[in-house]
Structure 1
């Protein structure tokens, strides 16, 4: 029972601001996706190597292949690159989110 009562305290501790002295520490965003440099890859056939190149050149931390007729979540993630391809494994669209 005591463990259950302590749970809210852990949740609040996770929200606490970390400070060094009097100044709060700001964390720079990492893995922000930029799909502009990789638009030239639309029309190419998918491959593991091409997927690695897309992820590296977009700067994204997360990568998602989207096959034809697939349901995907609509959550926006600025660190994710999405690659939509057709039945012939040809890339139709590359976008961030």
Structure 2
């Protein structure tokens, strides 16, 4: 008759027999490069290339639009003047994401589509 501890021990031994044995790796020789870590990839600065600075919105440059009708031409001019990569027109009650983006200008408008605020984010 098996006892619960004997059954548990037998199960454990049976499962351990199925385990994969650890693999031994041979030691690397001093001059052996097969096991040497790969060098890091070159960066843009290593090659003399500099990345362009990120586009950052300048909402002060778009304040002239407050009070004006937000038509397509005005929206494009505000985007250009603020040097923003993205533009978003926000109408009253409109649901928008709360993520902050340095490269986006938000144009808030009222019910008559007049600009009430120009802000980055």
RMSD: 2.2
Give structure 2 stretches of 5+ with no counterpart.
Answer: 1-39
The structure that is strand-richer by fraction is 1
Q: Which runs of 5+ in 1 are unaligned?
A: 1-15
> 1 or 2, which has the higher helix percentage?
1
In the alignment of these two chains, the number of paired residues is: 82
* Contact 1:67–1:85 under 8 Å retained in 2: yes
Tell me the TM-score normalised to structure 1 length.
Answer: 0.73
Work out the CA distance in 2 between the residues paired with 1:77 and 1:17.
30
Decide which structure has the larger Cα Rg and report it.
2
Given candidates 74, 82, 106, the residue that maps to 1:82 is 106
> Relative contact order, CA 8 A, sep 6+: which one is greater?
1
- Superposition misfits of 4+ residues, deviation over 6 angstroms: none
Contact 1:18 1:25 in 2 (8 A): no
